Amino acid sequence: MRTSVRGTSVTAFALGVLLMSAACGPSSQTPQTGSTTSASLTNPVPSSSAGRASPATPTATTSTTSSKPTIRPSTTTPTATIAPSLVGRVVSRIPTSRKVVALTFDAGANGDGVDSILATLARDKVAGSFFLTGDFVDSYPTLARRMSAMGRLGNHTTNHPHLPAMTDAQVRRQIAGARTTILSVTGEDPRPLFRFPFGDSSPHDLEIVRALGYVTIGWTVDSLGWQGTSGGRSVDSIVQRVLHAAAPGEIVLMHVGSHPTDHSTLDANALPRVISGLRAAGYGFVTLDTLVP
């Protein structure tokens, strides 16, 4: 289980990194490989999902078109049919034994790098999963719609707060407000995919998220591109981190947007080599739709 690092992050990074962290990045360098997820990691994806986007069939070739094949109705309760083992906890890896990886991108800062990321995904015929804040969607509606067309959207709250510090009502408003914005602007319902800002959750917040119909998505590896060149990161370090963590069902956390002080877009710059490196190691790509029956 990943622990909150509130109060410790201040000493961890330089000011510029802190600003980036406040904007979107996780608040810890520790990859989410919590023991709470281990029970399901060796299990195959539930058979109920076989008719949709099985890990055996990477969605890349069908998800890079400009039109969305389906829009999930907003009135359903998606988690009702999701494997119980996936709800109420942080899913840090897709439960599969197949060599597939989900590339995920969080968006809560600015729109820098999005053009490059989407161009790479389109060129390489790889679909991504994008966790958007409501504020990002308000600021960059065209980019949000292009992301929707290039993969799968998830909910990343309205304005990226530390949810454990908020009241239940505030948490619900953060999640519901983002969903309304994402749905109205892009036509895509982000539910049931949710990711906590900074990866900062509590058992109580996980229960709220579950009750709202979401699965909480974490990550297997954080590229740390959000720390920027001023944080000691480089394209090489990002590629090496992601490839070193390669495993069936790996969920890769990357970010859109540039670093607030050094203006680097390392994740966008590293993406071509991340994709080619994973492919060379025998991996295909899926979106987090894989988790949704």
Angle at alpha carbon of residue 288, lines to 285 and 293, rounded to 5°: 120
Angle at alpha carbon of residue 207, lines to 204 and 212, rounded to 5°: 135
CB 103 within 8 A of CB 273: no
Q: How far is the CB of 61 from Zn ion (least distance, A)?
A: 29
Which of the ranges 16-24, 71-79, 167-175, 225-233 carries the binding residues for Zn ion, by CB under 5 A? Answer: 16-24
Task: Give, as one character, the DSSP assignment of residue 165.
Answer: G
Q: How far is the CB of 26 from Zn ion (least distance, A)?
A: 7
Q: How many residues bind Zn ion (CB under 5 A)?
A: 4
The residue assigned the tokens 């094949």 is 69
Q: List binders of Zn ion among 78-117 (CB under 5 A).
A: 106, 108
24 binds Zn ion (CB under 5 A): yes
Helices (H) and strands (E) in the chain, counts: 10, 9
Nearer to Zn ion, 58 or 108 (CB): 108
Residue type, 220: T
Q: List binders of Zn ion among 208-267 (CB under 5 A).
A: none
Residue of closest CB approach to Zn ion: 24
Q: How far is the CB of 84 from Zn ion (least distance, A)?
A: 27
CA distance 157 to 136: 10
Q: How far is the CB of 114 from Zn ion (least distance, A)?
A: 15
Which of the ranges 17-25, 52-60, 203-211, 216-224 carries the binding residues for Zn ion, by CB under 5 A? Answer: 17-25
Task: Give, as one character, the DSSP assignment of residue 215.
Answer: E
Which residues, 6 or more positions from 288, have their beta carbon under 8 angstroms from its beta carbon? 94, 102, 104, 129, 152, 154, 193, 217, 251
The binding track of 168-207 with respect to Zn ion, each residue x by CB under 5 A or -, is -----------------------------x----------
CA distance 204 to 172: 12
Q: How far is the CB of 10 from Zn ion (least distance, A)?
A: 18
Q: How far is the CB of 194 from Zn ion (least distance, A)?
A: 12
What are the structure tokens assigned to 45, written together?
């994806």
Q: Which residues contact Zn ion by CB under 5 A?
A: 24, 106, 108, 197
